[in-house]
Copies of this chain bind each other. A is one copy, B any other.
C-alpha cells in the first residue's frame, strides 16, 4: 500500500495519493526529444518520426472528404471495441505481405501499436513478473513494462539478431530462480535501436525455444515492410499462430497521425485484449480507421511502401557514408531496413554525458541507456536517419564527429570521464536540450 492521501508536499498536494506504479514513471527520453526535434537549428538524429513528405495529400484529402460527406454518420460515431471490420480485413491483407495467414477476427485495432503494447502488458504482467527482451530494446516498450512494474531480463543480440543459446539460458535461469517468464518481447525485423534482423534460420529456433518452455512470444513489427532491398522476411507469426502475439502499425507504412495500430493474437488472448481496450478507450477512432481504409482502397499502398523504401535507403546511405567519412573510433552496423543505426562509441566516452555537449553543437541523438532496463548502454548511441534530409543527416554526422573528436581529446589527455556523471539523470530534460 502506498503512502496515504493527504501526505502531500507543498509542490504536489496529491503526492501521497499516487499508486506505486506512478512513482516509477519518469520523463521518457522520447518525450524530451520531441522538444529538440522541433528546434529548426538542431539536426535531430534522435526522433523516430517517419518522413511522410511523399504521401499523396491531395488524394488523401479527397477520399477523406468523401468519407465524411457520404459516411460521416458512421465515421463520426462510436464503433466496436475490437475495431472496424473493413479495416480488420485490410490488416489481414497487409499482414499477408509477411507470410501471415490470419482471420479478421484475430485482429484488435489499437491507438497506435503503443496501445497494443500497453494492452498486452496489462493483461499479462503483475508487479515483479519477468519479461525477456533483446539487449537493447525499444524504449517505448521498456516504458510500458516499467509502468506495469514488470521486470526486464535482457538477452544479447549479434548481427543475426537475438542469440538463441542466450535466450535458452535466460529462460532456464529464470525458471530455476522460480521466476517464470511471462513473454519474450522481440522486434525481430530491422530492430529498434540495433538495426539488425533475426535471421530466417533463427526464427524457427527462437519459436521452438519458447514453445518448448510455454513462453509466449510478443512480436513487435513496425518496420517489417521497410527493407531497403525489397526483401520481406517472414514474420514470426507466419510460423506460429498460437504462440505469437503480433503487433503492427500503419505509422511507418502510411502515417502516424491517425494513431492506428493493431494486435493479432490467439483467440482467447484476443478476447482479453478487447475487454482491456474497451476499459482503456471504449473503442478506437472510427474516423481514423475509416480514413486508413479509404487510403488503402484508393491508392497503390504497396507502391507507396516501395517509394518509402527507396527514400529511407537513400537516407541510410547518407548516414553510413558520412559515418565512414567522419566518425572517429566508432563502429556501427549497416541496417537493411527500418530507421536506425546503432553506433558504438570509443572507449571512455559516455553517450549520456556527451548529449548536452552535442545539443550545444546543434545535433541530437538518443543515448543507448534509453534502450536498457538495467543502466547499460552508455557506450552506444542511436542515430535515426528517418526524418532529416540526406544533406541534414550528413551535416548532423559532421557535427557529431566534431563533438566526439573533442571528447576523445579529453579522454586521451585525462582518461575516461565518468566522475561528472549524475546517475540520477536518466533522461535529458526538455529544458536542457
Contacts and interface: CB of A to CB of B under 8 A. Distances in A.
A179 to B, nearest CB: 9
Contacts of A17: 124, 182-183, 216
Interface stretch (A284-292, A340-348, A364-372, A398-406): A284-292
A284 B259 contact: yes
Given A77-B52, A114-B281, A255-B76, A275 B28 contact: yes
Nearest to A267: B12
A415 interface: no
B216 A5 contact: yes
A413 interface: no
Given A216-B14, A255-B77, A55 B31 contact: no
A123 interface: yes
A268 interface: yes
A278 interface: yes
Interface in A250-286: 251, 255-259, 266-269, 272, 274-276, 278-286
Interface in A65-82: 65-66, 68-69, 72-81
A259 B276 contact: no
Nearest to A288: B285
Interface stretch (A19-27, A197-205, A296-304, A350-358): A19-27
A239 interface: no
A180 interface: yes
Contacts of A30: 278, 282
A375 interface: no
A366 to B, nearest CB: 15
A388 to B, nearest CB: 14
Given A19-B122, A126-B1, A143 B279 contact: yes
A332 interface: no
Contacts of A49: 77-78
Nearest to A148: B19
A58 interface: yes
Contacts of A279: 25, 28, 114, 118, 140, 143-144, 146-147
B28 A281 contact: no
B57 A61 contact: no
Contacts of A62: 65
Interface of A: 1-2, 4-6, 8, 11-15, 17-22, 25-28, 30-31, 34, 49, 52-53, 55, 57-58, 60-62, 64-66, 68-69, 72-81, 111-112, 114-115, 118, 122-126, 128-129, 140, 143-144, 146-148, 180-183, 213-216, 242, 251, 255-259, 266-269, 272, 274-276, 278-288, 291
27 contacts: A5-B214, A6-B214, A12-B266, A14-B268, A15-B268, A17-B182, A18-B123, A19-B123, A22-B122, A22-B276, A27-B275, A30-B278, A30-B282, A31-B274, A49-B77, A52-B76, A55-B76, A57-B72, A61-B66, A76-B255, A77-B256, A78-B251, A79-B257, A143-B278, A280-B280, A285-B288, A288-B288
